[in-house]
């Protein structure tokens, strides 16, 4: 099985479920464990974050609320944003500094760069090194953090006792500034299951131990 299965999805698996949303794998057996999320906004409505389409996934959404918009948070997470935007007749929110992503989107792109509509999420630019750009999404009212790529929980990101790990290339110079002042109760990620217990501790220890565990990460995942 390749790291990322590029074929159309034939099934999905809900891997995160809480009062305010769900997360799912559109390709449950792929190694990269790309995760999509549907999150209820501060004033209601559902916001889809970096979603990948799967047969039957739309049947999960009405139980949450009507879809209000799609959020793209990484240059490499356009995924099926256009598909969902067209199906639900909603706009896509993608910050202009994600130039690769915006160039690939056909849907109407809203000009929001900080607070995203009524979702409650504020976006912070993350540039761990030149050529890498993503948006960290955080909202204070329910202390939810979403990290698309720089951190994850899939086996490609974590080693030893890590619950939340930093991507291999980012471990050489761990990026901390973008997470300053954040104390999430839950951490959702673009690759893997979310963290719903002691999330702030996991967020703090991920960059703190990133360089120390770099040799182990190289041995475990460097070849991939």
Q: 174-187, pLDDT tens digit by residue?
A: 888 899 999 999 99
Position 64 pLDDT exceeds 90: yes
Position 113 pLDDT exceeds 70: no
Query: Buried b / exposed e across 114-145, counting CB within 10 Å, b at 16+?
Result: eebbebbbbbbebebeeebbbbbbbbeebebb
Position 223 pLDDT exceeds 70: no
Mean pLDDT of the chain: 91
Q: What is the pLDDT of residue 222?
A: 66
What is the DSSP-derived secondary structure letter of residue 150? S
Position 109 pLDDT exceeds 90: no
pLDDT in tens, 148-157: 999 999 988 9
pTM recorded for the entire structure = 0.93
The proportion of the chain whose per-residue pLDDT surpasses 70, expressed as a percent, equals 97
């Amino acid at each position: 099985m390749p790291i990322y299965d590029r074929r159309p999805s034939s099934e999905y698996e809900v891997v995160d479920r809480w009062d305010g949303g769900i997360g799912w794998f559109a390709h449950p057996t792929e190694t990269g464990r790309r995760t999509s999320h549907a999150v209820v906004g501060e004033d209601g409505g559902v916001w889809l974050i970096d979603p990948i389409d799967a047969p039957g996934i739309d049947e999960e959404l009405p139980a949450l609320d009507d879809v209000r918009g799609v959020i793209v948070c990484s240059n490499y997470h356009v995924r099926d944003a256009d598909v969902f935007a067209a199906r639900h007749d909603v706009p896509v929110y993608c910050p202009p500094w994600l130039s690769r992503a915006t160039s690939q989107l056909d849907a109407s792109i809203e000009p929001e760069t900080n607070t995203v509509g009524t979702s409650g999420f504020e976006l912070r630019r993350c540039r761990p090194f030149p050529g890498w750009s993503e948006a960290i999404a955080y909202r204070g009212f329910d202390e939810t953090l979403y990290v698309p790529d720089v951190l994850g929980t899939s086996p490609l990101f974590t080693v030893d006792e890590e619950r939340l790990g930093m991507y291999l290339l980012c471990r050489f110079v761990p990026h901390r500034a973008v997470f300053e002042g954040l104390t999430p109760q839950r951490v959702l990620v673009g690759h893997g299951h979310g963290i719903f217990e002691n999330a702030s501790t996991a967020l703090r220890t991920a960059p703190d131990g990133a360089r120390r565990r770099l040799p182990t990460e190289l041995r475990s995942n460097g070849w991939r």
